[in-house]
Amino acid sequence: MNYWLVKSEPETYSWERFVREGTAVWDGVRNYQARNNLKKMKRGDLVLFYHSVQEPSVVGIAKVTREFYKDPTTKDSRWVAVQLEPVKPLNSPVSLSVIKSRKEFQNMALVQQSRLSVMPVTPLEFERIIACGGMTAAS
């Protein structure tokens, strides 16, 4: 299994709305690097859901329920979408400032490449992030 992180501005699409709706088509990505990451997602992969801009932080865990297909929001066949479902919120959000302050997270794309919106996360990083959020892999 692989692990990922996706960003969303809560004003545009929040974790709360994601939970309310129970599913999300992750479309509208118009960056090649982010798109390439979408294409690598497999059903069942776990995804950290990150709120950008206001109180930037990882707020929840999602999973991939449909692998990539043509982005329905454009005729341009270069772009793809995946489908995600919420798994559970973190007990406490893990803020970007905390992530930036810890040595073990310095290699994350979240820290190094602030504008990338879909990125891989290593299994260890995933485990440590959710641990910071008061969760364990088993829970």
> Minimum Å distance from CB 138 to DNA?
29
Q: Between residues 80 and 96, which has the closer beta carbon with respect to DNA? A: 96
Burial class of residue 19, CB neighbours in 10 A (0-12, 13-18, 19+): middle
- The residue among 32 and 69 lying less far from DNA, judged by its C-beta, is 32
Q: Compute CA distances 62 → 22, 58, 77, 88, whole Å.
A: 10, 11, 26, 7
Closer residue to DNA in complex, CB, 1/73:
73
- What is the C-alpha to C-alpha distance for residues 26 and 131, in angstroms, rounded to an integer? 26
**Contact residues: DNA, CB under 7 A:** 7, 9, 30-33, 52-53, 56, 96-97, 100, 110, 113-117
Given a contact cutoff of 8 angstroms between Cβ atoms, the answer to whether 94 and 132 are in contact is yes
Please say which residue, 25 or 116, places its beta carbon nearer to DNA. Answer: 116
Q: How far is the CB of 118 from DNA (least distance, A)?
A: 9
- Measuring CA to CA, how many Å separate 40 from each of 1, 10, 23, 71? 11, 25, 19, 15
Least distance between DNA and beta carbon 11 (Å) = 11
Minimum distance between the CB of residue 95 and DNA, rounded to whole angstroms? 8
